[in-house]
Structure formats: C-alpha cells, structure tokens
A and B are shown apart, each in its own frame.
Chain A
Amino acid sequence: MTRSRALPLLGVLILVFSTLTLATPAQTQTPKSGRTLNIMLREDLSQGFAIHESSTISTVFPAAPCFNNLVQFDPAKPIESTDTIVGDLAEKWSWQDNYRNLVFFLRKNVKWHDGKPFSSKDVKFTFDMLREGPDAPAKLRINPRKDWYANVEAVEAPDPNTVVFRLKRAQPSLLSMLASGYTPIYAAHIPPANYRTTCVGTGPFKVKEWRKGEYLDYAKNPDYFIKGRPYLDGLHYVVIVERGTRTAALQAGQLDVAFPGETTKAAAEQLKKAVPKLVVTPVGTAVTDNIIMNSKKPPFDNPKVRLAVSYAIDRKGLIQAVHQGAGVPGAAMAPRPYGVWGMADKDLLALPGYGQPADMKAKAKKLLAESGVAQPIRVEMVTRAIAVYVDMASFVINELKQVGIDATLKQIETAQWHAMATRGDYQIGANLTGLGVDDPDANLYENFACGSPRNYSFYCDEHVTKMIDQQSQELDPKRRLGIVVTIQKKLEEDAARPVLDHRIDYFTFWPHVKGLVPHHNIYNFARMQDVWSDK
C-alpha cells in the first residue's frame, strides 16, 4: 500500500474510532465499585420474589437481582434474539441430536446466598417443577408458564455440572425462553412458597430488607461467581404509588433509575426539559394494545363483523392520539428494530386497518353491510379499570362509532379481568398483552392456539395451529421467519386478536448510572450485575 493511499485510510480509521469512542463513553470508562442506586417501583412486589408464580414486571424487575438463569440475553445489547444469548449459570451449551437434546455445562463454585453449593440438581428441580413433570419434587401454587415447557420430556442431571433437556421434538425457541427474565433458577433446598417472602438465589445481590409497601434493599453478594461483580454496593428500590411523585423524585435526583414501561413520551419530554442531562432511551416494551372479540358470542361470531372492527381502527391515529407517538404499528410480533419476528412495513400496509383511514372505514362499513347483522350494532366494550386501558378503549369506541358500531364502555376491576376474559364473559374488549420474550412460541401458543386459556377470543384455526407447530420445529431461522410472517398475516386477516400497536417506553435514568442498557423487552434487563455509578 502506498503512503498516499494509506493516509486517508488511517484518517477514516481514526474518525471511526473516535466516533465509536464518543458514542459509547460508558464502555470505555473503567467501572467504579461502590454506591447504592435508588430505583423506582410503582407498586410493591406482587408475589415477593416468586417470579415463577407471577407474570408482572412489578415482580420480575425488583426480584431479578437476586437470581440467575441458565442463560440470559446479553445485558449490553438492547435487541434480544437467539444470537444475543450468553451464558449465565451455564458456561456453555450444546444442541444435540438435531435439536432434540439441549445440554448445559454449568459453572463450578457457584453458591446460593445461604452458602449452600449450586448444582445441576437445582436446575432439574426448577424445571421439573415448572413443567409439572410426574416426579416433580415441588409444585407451584400458580404456574403461568407451564406451557413454555410442554415440549420438555425430561430434565436430567447426569453429574453436578451437567444438565440435559430432552425434548419431545426439536424446539430451537427453548433457549430464548430459558434466557427470559421469567426463568430464574430456584434452590432445590428451599420450598418454592418461601420465595413469596424472601429470596435465596445465586444472583449478584442479596436481599437485605423488604419493608412491605415501602422499599426493598439489596446488598452486594460478596461470593458472587463473577469476580469483581457486581460493581454496586447495593440497590434501594422505593415504592412510590403516585405517578406525579415518582416523576418528581426522578427529576429531583432522589431516584437514579425509572421503572421500565413507566415513562411516557410526554413525561420524558417534561423531564428532559427540566433536567437536560437525564438519559432517555426509547425502547420497545414487548407490550401490545389489542382487541379481543369473543368469537363465540354474537355479533362477533360473525367473521365479517370481527374483520370490520379491525378495519375500522386507525392504528396510526391511535398511536398519535393515545400515546403521543410513543408506539409503532405491528402485528402479533414486535417489528424491527424492537424485535426480530415482526412483519415488514410493506407487508403491514396490506393488512386490515393499516391503509388510509377513510378507505379502511369504508371497507369496514361494507363488511358490516354484508354481514347481515342488524344495524346499528350495539355492543358492550370491556376494559380494565386502569388509565392505560381506558384511554385506548375510548379511542377505539370512537372509531367504531364512525362505522356504525355503537359501543358502551364497561370498566372491569383487575380482580375480575382475567377471570372474565377466560370465561368469555364479554363481547369485545380493549386489552394489553405483554410478552416475556420476543419469540413466536411464547406468543403464538399462548394467545392464538386452540384451547389455550389465554386465547381470550377463542380463535381456533387448525391450519394456523399446524403452522405454529411447524415454525416451532423449524431449524432454519430464515424459513422460520417466513412461516411466522405468514401466521401473523393470517391472524390479522382473520381478526383473531387485532393488534393495534406496540408500545414504546422512554426509559430514563441519570447520566451517572453506567452499564445499564435497556432492552426492547421490559422483562429482561433487571439483573444489575454490570451496572455501576460514576457519581
């Protein structure tokens, strides 16, 4: 290479290097140890530390620092996929027998917080309990993710550092589900019920004190298996029920980190205006707004009426009006860059409700006229008595009115919501669905498979179910994506559970908080192992 050619190249390299250096200052700084972070909680821990008995961020977020998984999504990467999975309690893993066996090689010298050694027995105990195997040594009071492990035939612990998951059929998704924040390993020597009040984990932080309804304090685990981690001396989670007070506390610096999924676009703008140095990161939440329609009850037993509802709702209008732009349109799976299984924009445009609003509403009216159902159609729309639900439902009611569906709103208390939806004791509802992991298996089986208890619309299509099974076993990621896109298209065309948008969170923290990378899924970045404070 001549000198004249080498110089510009060197210049470009220097420029690229400097840009990278400026863009990621946290990565180039040497982490400092010490200090306790103050972190926001919007309510007390719902089920204590019993993550396996809960499906809410209010449990996972504050309980995660106590635990470890077998594997986890790389804490430093916001996008989650099988490519970003890294080891946690497992150092290595290997798919064998054409994805029928998944073998984990565990770390050695890992201790539980009570000093007892961790081994493969604990892993077997956890997953036998979760899948409710015939010889399970313990039973959970509530087991919301049993279906995730329906394909696991056996979990074996041939030696203290090896665990083998034997599957009934190939299922590459299993690894993603094991990386979810909802999949911590419990100690075999602790009754699962104890996790509702206290926590014995292997995680980077040990529970110091939990004052009910007030705060949760963690102290650094000095025996953590990664030397030098965690960096922080402790974590102080403060329960602040009032939203205005929470925001004020963050603004005043009494809190260092916000609660995931908590900061709306308007709140973020207000905070940024008041304290320009705050770090605000827009991230996907893995939560969708969607419409559930009871396909067993009139008028929604008529497919044309269901489809008309989907056509009637202007997705972009909803995102602007209800979320002030803090959402993205998408079908069942989160679109890029928030997920890896979503449909491309051009494909979305061909779906009901995604075209020009006037055209869509005209189509909705035509479908209603063809449906044979007497008009105007009067229905009762149910939603949870929580502001985020009610706002969305109010918008939808207005949209439906414009095509001749007269809906009245009925607010249902949280205590009644799931029971009512599972029983099918409703006509149409405005609903929110959160996904523990951005994976088609976790979503499609749970919400769209025939007979699933969370398939609130009672949608059942044998062909779709076959395709769900097909994608689940597909080993080629590209081919699998193709099947998943086809399924999503079919679900939207059938108005199985029309997805209105994927919510965006404006995750906020102070600039002295380093090493905290919010993911596009609120459930999977709460371990705090690599977080440090530059204050």
Chain B
Amino acid sequence: MKKPSVLTVFLVLFFLLVTLLIAKSFVVKIKITHLREAPQFYAQSLAVLKNGEGVEQLEVQGSWIKVKSSQGLTGWVHISAVKPKQFALVQVADSLKTETSADEVALAGKGFNKQVEGKYKARNPNISFVMVDKMLEIEISSSEIKSFLKSGRLGEFRGKE
C-alpha cells in the first residue's frame, strides 16, 4: 500500500481543524438561562445554562438558536441570552486549541460587581437594597405566563377563542 504523502496528511488534519473552528459557538452572557424544548419562553426547560457556559449552534429560527449544550443536550436558547464565543488567535496558532479568551468569561465578576456594591453600601448606609432584593424575588412561572397569554388572547394565542 502506498504511503500517504505529507500533503495528504496535512489536508486531513487541516479539514479536521477547519471543522472544529467553524462550529458556531456561543457563551451564556446572563446569570442563568434555560435550554428550552421549543423556541418559546414558556416551553419546558431541559437544563439550566449558567453564565459563561458554552453552546454550539445547530440552527437559527427567528430570535432563537437551536443549540447543543456541553452536556450534549439539544434545545433552544434566545439570542439575547448569549453572545458569540471569542477565540484567541495566539492560542489557536500555538496549540490548536479553541479556548475562549475574551470578554464575558474574563470579565465575569470584574468591574462593577458585588464587591463594589458592598463598598457603596458601606459608604451610603441610608440607601437600602432590601426592597431591591425583594423585587428580584417576584417570579412568574412559565405555566402562569402561558395561561395569562392564553386567556388574554395575546402572543401566539392572538385572535383565538
């Protein structure tokens, strides 16, 4: 059998590398989002995706992206919850790895963060965050919002009896 040439080996490796690189990757940019069964906010949640977690795009439908999570689950995320993963050129050239480098991941916890809020609170003891935390506790479940839209003939239930 003929030994493969250097060029053939190169082309095979190159093809693999290109496949790896052109997979469209995103990272979650908010605290948490849900991997949903269908492209709707009240669709069943398959998994919780945390800030910085990476997903691979499979298809796009309107403002929703069908993705594969790092656990191998397939579902939908809204485009406003993610941002394109950044690649560090130096790392790619150096080690052929597609490590994320910039922005959200590196910025996580940086800048105006919990520590800065703590300092601000210490300087301004008259400004209370108690009610802000209570406000954050107000949650409307997916089933509640679905039934609200349905009974009010809103969203996809528009014009339906």
A and B: interacting chains: no
Q: B residues engaging A (CB < 8 A)?
A: none
